Structure 1
Amino acid sequence: MSKRESILLIVMGVGLLIGAYYYLFANQQDIGTDAKVNYQELNSTVDMVKGLANKDEFTEVERYKLELAETKWPSNPFYDREKFARQDQRQEKAELQSAEGLNLAYTGYVVMGDRELAIINGFEYERGEEIVTAEGYFVSTITKENVIIGQKNATEEIVEERVIPITEDPLNLYN
């Protein structure tokens, strides 16, 4: 054992002995039951707090904020991308009978660890996810050059697959 190690062990042992002494022997005062509680002072403090809580000293702005907090929200404040994308799709009334009529643009390929993401029409998708703007279609395969989307029928059989090549927008390439 080196000199440094032995010094550290001695300092640690002394620290343990001092800690054991304070834990076992020191600070052994008898607190007893003669602690006095002034109940009048305690009751007056409780009454003061109740009085302050019951006073209606709200300003006009605070009352307005309380009324707003109590009203029910008409819709969820959090953005739901699938819901809004489907609403946009219904507004366009695009019939998605075949993949040829789809207006899909594969504009990005992202790798994060072991996850591969394809950016299609501004949304990120993993393998197996349903395409929000094309109901009934899902991402089958993702590569750097293209993405393959598929469509399943009611028996979960793939009935159609389409290859979409990557398209880069030179205007938004570095934004």
Structure 2
Amino acid sequence: MGDEKTDEALMLAYAEGDLLAFEILYQRHRGTLYRFLLRSLRHRADADELFQETWSRLIAARERYRPDAKFTTWLLQIAHNLVIDRFRRQRPQASPDETDSVLRNLDAPESEQPERVLSEFEQRRRLQLALEDLPDEQRVAFLLRVENGLGLDEIGEITGAGRETVKSRLRYALARIRARFAS
């Protein structure tokens, strides 16, 4: 019955006490939200924690919700703000083993690195590593665009950046990912 309603209408209904409206919103957006958080944070435990926190914040803000922007933009902005807070509290660092492994591979002559065809899994892993190497702002912009299909203006609303800044972040992110795959 509520499946035909827009997300914004469902959120307004939830603000008035319609629990079914919340269930529909949750079903529609849980996958998108979780993927965004997991790719942004890289650790399942962190993504799980912020996934719950995002929904908690949505519940707490339900009466203040205004459909000024798309619901997904609003939801992802809550998540993005939580991700930024997490980054500020704890900057991720490579472990000593990871650092040693990378340095050994850089020092190895090309003739000692075996040629092989990458499987689909290996390509996904390379993309994940390329995403991890991006600066936070570029990674978030890239994920919002590619994973969530958001436009420049919507990404700007979520991240608080101007349209041209978002375009630059996307351009630099794509260039870095392409360079990573070319090497």
- Tell me which interval the TM-score lies in, with the shorter structure as reference length: under 0.3
Structure showing the higher helix proportion among its residues: 2
TM-score by length of 2: 0.20
The structure having more radius of gyration, on CA atoms, is 1
1 or 2 for the larger relative contact order (CA 8 Å, sep ≥6)? Answer: 2
TM-score, length of structure 1 as denominator length? 0.20
Task: Looking at secondary structure, tell me which structure has more strand per residue.
Answer: 1
